Amino acid sequence: MFTNRVRPRRGRLGAASVVCALLALTGCSSSSGSSSSTAPASTPPGTTASGAARIVIKDFLFSPASLTVAPGTVVTVVNEDKTPHTATDAEGKAFDTGTIAGGKSATFKAPATAGSYSYICSIHQYMKGTLTVR
Ligand SMILES: [Cu+2]
Protein backbone atom coordinates (compact mmCIF):
# COMPACT_ATOMS: atom_id res chain seq x y z
CA MET A 1 0.00 0.00 0.00
CA PHE A 2 2.67 2.47 1.01
CA THR A 3 4.85 1.76 -2.01
CA ASN A 4 1.86 2.24 -4.32
CA ARG A 5 1.51 5.83 -3.10
CA VAL A 6 5.19 6.65 -3.71
CA ARG A 7 5.41 5.41 -7.29
CA PRO A 8 3.14 8.01 -8.99
CA ARG A 9 5.03 10.80 -7.24
CA ARG A 10 8.30 9.56 -8.74
CA GLY A 11 6.64 9.51 -12.17
CA ARG A 12 5.68 13.15 -11.86
CA LEU A 13 9.18 14.11 -10.82
CA GLY A 14 10.58 12.31 -13.84
CA ALA A 15 8.28 14.21 -16.18
CA ALA A 16 9.23 17.49 -14.56
CA SER A 17 12.94 16.83 -15.07
CA VAL A 18 12.31 16.07 -18.77
CA VAL A 19 10.60 19.45 -19.15
CA CYS A 20 13.58 21.11 -17.46
CA ALA A 21 15.94 19.37 -19.85
CA LEU A 22 13.88 20.51 -22.86
CA LEU A 23 13.90 24.10 -21.60
CA ALA A 24 17.66 23.90 -21.17
CA LEU A 25 18.03 22.60 -24.74
CA THR A 26 15.97 25.38 -26.29
CA GLY A 27 17.86 27.95 -24.25
CA CYS A 28 21.12 26.52 -25.48
CA SER A 29 20.17 26.44 -29.18
CA SER A 30 18.85 30.00 -29.20
CA SER A 31 22.06 31.35 -27.69
CA SER A 32 24.27 29.53 -30.21
CA GLY A 33 22.07 30.81 -33.05
CA SER A 34 22.72 34.42 -32.12
CA SER A 35 26.47 33.85 -31.86
CA SER A 36 26.68 32.37 -35.37
CA SER A 37 26.06 35.79 -36.94
CA THR A 38 29.57 36.84 -35.91
CA ALA A 39 31.21 33.86 -37.67
CA PRO A 40 32.81 34.80 -41.03
CA ALA A 41 31.32 33.08 -44.10
CA SER A 42 34.32 31.61 -45.93
CA THR A 43 32.52 29.51 -48.56
CA PRO A 44 28.92 29.90 -49.75
CA PRO A 45 26.73 27.00 -48.63
CA GLY A 46 26.29 24.25 -51.21
CA THR A 47 29.53 25.04 -53.01
CA THR A 48 32.20 22.38 -53.23
CA ALA A 49 35.54 23.82 -52.25
CA SER A 50 37.67 20.90 -53.42
CA GLY A 51 36.86 21.20 -57.12
CA ALA A 52 35.26 17.75 -57.29
CA ALA A 53 31.56 17.01 -57.19
CA ARG A 54 29.33 13.99 -57.41
CA ILE A 55 25.85 13.24 -58.66
CA VAL A 56 24.27 9.87 -57.89
CA ILE A 57 21.50 8.42 -60.04
CA LYS A 58 19.23 6.06 -58.15
CA ASP A 59 15.64 4.99 -58.80
CA PHE A 60 15.49 7.29 -61.87
CA LEU A 61 16.38 10.35 -59.80
CA PHE A 62 19.41 12.63 -59.80
CA SER A 63 20.74 13.23 -56.31
CA PRO A 64 21.22 15.96 -55.35
CA ALA A 65 18.62 17.31 -57.76
CA SER A 66 20.31 20.69 -57.50
CA LEU A 67 24.10 21.01 -57.32
CA THR A 68 26.31 24.09 -57.23
CA VAL A 69 29.90 23.87 -58.46
CA ALA A 70 32.73 26.17 -59.47
CA PRO A 71 33.37 26.68 -63.22
CA GLY A 72 35.27 23.77 -64.76
CA THR A 73 34.66 21.40 -61.86
CA VAL A 74 34.93 17.74 -62.79
CA VAL A 75 31.60 16.20 -61.81
CA THR A 76 31.40 12.44 -61.33
CA VAL A 77 28.03 10.87 -62.13
CA VAL A 78 27.44 7.49 -60.50
CA ASN A 79 24.65 5.31 -61.88
CA GLU A 80 23.38 3.08 -59.09
CA ASP A 81 20.47 1.82 -61.16
CA LYS A 82 20.59 -1.27 -63.38
CA THR A 83 19.23 0.83 -66.26
CA PRO A 84 21.53 2.99 -68.39
CA HIS A 85 21.23 6.76 -67.83
CA THR A 86 22.90 9.97 -68.96
CA ALA A 87 23.36 13.44 -67.51
CA THR A 88 22.89 15.73 -70.48
CA ASP A 89 22.57 19.51 -70.67
CA ALA A 90 18.91 20.04 -71.54
CA GLU A 91 19.24 23.28 -73.51
CA GLY A 92 22.59 23.33 -75.21
CA LYS A 93 25.54 20.99 -75.43
CA ALA A 94 27.46 22.39 -72.47
CA PHE A 95 27.98 18.92 -71.03
CA ASP A 96 26.94 15.32 -71.62
CA THR A 97 28.14 12.17 -69.93
CA GLY A 98 26.93 9.94 -72.73
CA THR A 99 25.29 6.66 -71.76
CA ILE A 100 26.35 5.40 -68.34
CA ALA A 101 25.66 1.68 -68.01
CA GLY A 102 24.03 0.40 -64.84
CA GLY A 103 26.46 0.27 -61.93
CA LYS A 104 29.01 2.43 -63.79
CA SER A 105 30.08 6.03 -63.47
CA ALA A 106 31.21 8.78 -65.80
CA THR A 107 32.50 12.32 -65.50
CA PHE A 108 31.84 15.61 -67.22
CA LYS A 109 33.37 19.02 -66.85
CA ALA A 110 31.14 21.79 -65.57
CA PRO A 111 30.79 24.74 -67.98
CA ALA A 112 33.23 27.63 -67.59
CA THR A 113 30.38 30.14 -67.84
CA ALA A 114 28.46 30.85 -64.64
CA GLY A 115 24.76 30.16 -64.80
CA SER A 116 22.03 27.66 -64.08
CA TYR A 117 22.02 24.62 -66.34
CA SER A 118 19.09 22.24 -66.30
CA TYR A 119 20.04 18.76 -67.35
CA ILE A 120 18.14 15.58 -68.12
CA CYS A 121 18.69 11.93 -68.79
CA SER A 122 18.49 11.75 -72.59
CA ILE A 123 17.04 8.23 -72.32
CA HIS A 124 14.40 9.12 -69.72
CA GLN A 125 13.72 12.77 -70.37
CA TYR A 126 11.45 13.17 -67.34
CA MET A 127 14.57 12.83 -65.18
CA LYS A 128 15.62 16.37 -64.38
CA GLY A 129 18.36 18.06 -62.39
CA THR A 130 19.94 21.48 -62.10
CA LEU A 131 23.63 22.32 -62.17
CA THR A 132 24.47 25.81 -60.98
CA VAL A 133 27.89 27.16 -61.91
CA ARG A 134 29.22 30.11 -59.96
CU1 LIG B 1 17.77 7.57 -67.52
Separation of CA 134 and ligand 1 centre (Å): 26
pLDDT in tens, the chain (134 residues): 555 555 545 544 444 444 434 444 444 444 343 344 444 444 444 544 455 799 999 999 999 999 999 999 999 999 999 999 999 999 989 999 999 999 999 999 999 999 999 999 999 999 999 999 99
Domain residue spans of the chain: 2-31, 52-133
Kindly give the distance from the C-alpha atom of residue 127 to the centroid of ligand 1, in angstroms, as a whole number. 7
Domain 52-133 in CATH 3.20.20.70? The answer is no
CA 100 to centroid of ligand 1, rounded, Å: 9
| pTM greater than 0.75 | no
Span from the CA of 117 to the centroid of ligand 1 (angstroms): 18
**Could you tell me which residues are beta bridge partners of residue 78?**
56, 105
Dist. CA 28–CA 34, nearest whole Å: 10
Q: Which residues of 11-50 are buried (b: 16+ CB within 10 A; e: fewer)?
A: eeeeeeeeeeeeeeeeeeeeeeeeeeeeeeeeeeeeeeee
How many whole angstroms from 122 Cα to the centroid of ligand 1?
7
Q: What is the DSSP letter of 110?
A: P
Predicted confidence at residue 52, as pLDDT, reads 75
